[in-house]
Structure 1
């Protein structure tokens, strides 16, 4: 590979939602060929691994229309409330989804979720020292809080009860952080 990256020649927005836009376009490859491409631009997102004062991981169970399933997940959401910071978004999502906020937020990881076709960039946090702070959930959310131990959560990742990759990664990162801290 020459180190020359492909160049976007044209793009056309084909769909817009409150969270993302879909584009189609053409790119110029380093060898001179052109290729058609489709991609999604997505607002930044957060994911939080909340740990109760009793040491329980607070998972949520919610319906996901795209896969038509109830999934076990960690709280997560889109930075879509104006000019909020990443940490403010974490606190808002925690309050909306589990009724708590965190006195301690520890950055675990950040990165692209599916860069083959989407620029969705997720910020992962461990949320500790929780205190009550309830906000109403989003209009399309029906959430059940599922307290569990980290050992049980890791087992649920391994046995296929947790099939959301964001959640599997968040649990694994938090578990490793907490094991190495003690």
Structure 2
């Protein structure tokens, strides 16, 4: 249902500006004539990739995430932080950088707002098939937390079970794995064109 009220932004104050996100306060008109301040994070956006091989396995990444203070199961993923780069190109880049893989085919699985209660972050999740390994000499040299990335091939149904057991809690990973399983079970009919325009 579409709201009948137009939530107009009357004023915006930037509280913090960083490379990945900014924190702002908007003064917004409310139904009934009032106004309210809303604090939130403005994010550059991201992509995630579900690499699926010919044996029905998906590649999962284990990476340390400082905000939650632990290593998590995730998908190869990264920021849309290169000016003018198409989301499909970002997906190809992240697949190479985090998984040492190339793909012949990308399909759109799902778009999701990861936490719309406090952030405008939008992540697009792709399915990658027709995978091949990048030769050792051509691989991206990882640094910082990414230097400790490990990867594991897991049967898709087991990865879904891991999500349902809360062993995978990264939102994009959970959504991507569930969408992949559903698309597989429907003979890939739910897959969409990877260049489908983003709806913000």
TM-score interval w.r.t. the shorter chain?
Answer: over 0.9
Q: Which residue of 2 aligns with 1:128?
A: 129
> Pairwise mapping of residues 1-182 of structure 1 onto structure 2 (< 5 A)?
3-133=4-134, 134-137=139-142, 139-141=144-146, 142-181=148-187
Q: CA deviation at 1:155?
A: 1.3
State the 1:163 CA deviation.
Answer: 1.5
Q: Which runs of 4+ in 1 moved over 6 A?
A: none
> Which structure 1 residue ranges, 5 or more long, are not aligned?
none
Measured in 1, the distance between the counterparts of 2:34 and 2:92 equals 47
How many angstroms does 1:82 deviate by? 2.3
TM-score with structure 2 setting the length: 0.85
**TM-score under structure 1 normalisation?**
0.93
Deviations 1:95-135 (A, max 9, x none): 01000021110111113222222111111110011122332
Separation (CA, whole Å) in 2 of partners of 1:45 and 1:35: 29
Cα distance in 2, alignment partners of residues 28 and 177 from structure 1:
41
- Shift of the alpha carbon at 1:12? 0.8
Q: Do the aligned residues in 2 keep the contact of 1:96 with 1:138 (CA within 8 Å)?
A: no
The count of corresponding residues between Structure 1 and Structure 2 is: 182
User: 1:64 touches 1:70 (CA, 8 Å); kept in 2?
Assistant: yes
| Higher share of residues assigned strand | 1
